[in-house]
């Protein structure tokens, strides 16, 4: 976490780093941190990141799919969120 915290202060995380940071944050049920990092453009949006977040927050996952340019996942997310 110290590594990621240092990176978040100065740069945007790549797709792999974004996924690896999201895993423990989701396990701690701190989705508000992920939401803030998305707003601050600190995470790289990817299908894998959306897939990890979808179980905890389908609406946030839909936002990630839209930003990552995944039309099939966006359609699936729209169906799931109603």
Listed by start position, the domains of the chain span 2-81
CATH class of 2-81: mainly alpha
Averaged pLDDT, 42-62: 93
The pLDDT of residue 18 is above 90:
yes
pTM of the entire structure? Answer: 0.86
Q: What's the pLDDT band for 77 if we cut at 50, 70, 90?
A: confident
Q: Give the relative orientation of helices 71-81 and 58-68 as an angle to the nearest 10 degrees.
A: 160
Least confident of 2-6, 27-31, 38-42: 2-6
CA distance 7 to 52: 21
Residue in 77, 72, 38, 42 with CA at minimum distance from that of residue 61: 77
């Amino acid at each position: 976490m110290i590594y990621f915290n240092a990176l978040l202060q100065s740069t945007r995380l790549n797709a792999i780093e974004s996924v690896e940071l999201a895993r423990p944050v989701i396990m701690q049920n701190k989705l508000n941190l992920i939401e803030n990092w998305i707003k601050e453009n600190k995470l790289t949006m990817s299908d894998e990141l959306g897939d990890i977040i979808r179980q905890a927050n389908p609406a946030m996952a839909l936002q990630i799919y839209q930003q990552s340019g995944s039309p099939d996942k966006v359609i699936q997310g729209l169906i799931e969120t109603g």
